[in-house]
Amino acid sequence: MPEQNIVRRIKKAVARVKPRIKKNDMVMVVTGRERGKTGKVMRVMADDARVIVERLNVVKRHSKPRGPQSPGGIVEKEAPIPISNVMFFCERCNAPVRVGIKTAADGARIRICRRCGEQLGNE
């Protein structure tokens, strides 16, 4: 179906934008089931535009026993959250904020809080 191809192309184009959220950032979920909760980013899946946030969006997985090392049972695991559903959580503002990019005097691109101007580390 041509429509699907178009959707796929758009998704790829969107994914090419470098996420402003990085591993170990604190984020707040702003939409969905976990709205209002904060957590630390464990993994950024840039190609899928998703993030995995520690202890958020936990799903139960039923795994079969596979020998003495993995007895099976119900395993709780974080499921990816669309990156558009989370915002950077600025601890100085104590609020979810948008992240800006600023070029420093030495040419390095650094991330800043758009609300208070706090520097958030390199891009």
Among the listed ranges 11-19, 61-69, 104-112, 115-123, the one in contact with Zn ion (CB under 5 A) is: 115-123
The strand pair at 119-122 and 109-113 is best described as antiparallel
- What are the strands, taking DSSP E only, across 46-80? 50-53, 58-63, 73-78
Distance CA 2, CA 28 (A): 36
By beta-carbon proximity to Zn ion, the closer residue of 54 and 118 is: 118
**Does 78 participate in binding Zn ion (rule CB under 5 A)?**
no
| Residue 84 amino acid letter | S
Instruction: Return the residue of 19, 93, 100, 123 that touches Zn ion, per CB under 5 A.
Output: 93
Q: How near is the Cβ of 78 to Zn ion at its closest, in Å?
A: 26
Instruction: Return the residue of 35, 82, 116, 121 that touches Zn ion, per CB under 5 A.
Output: 116
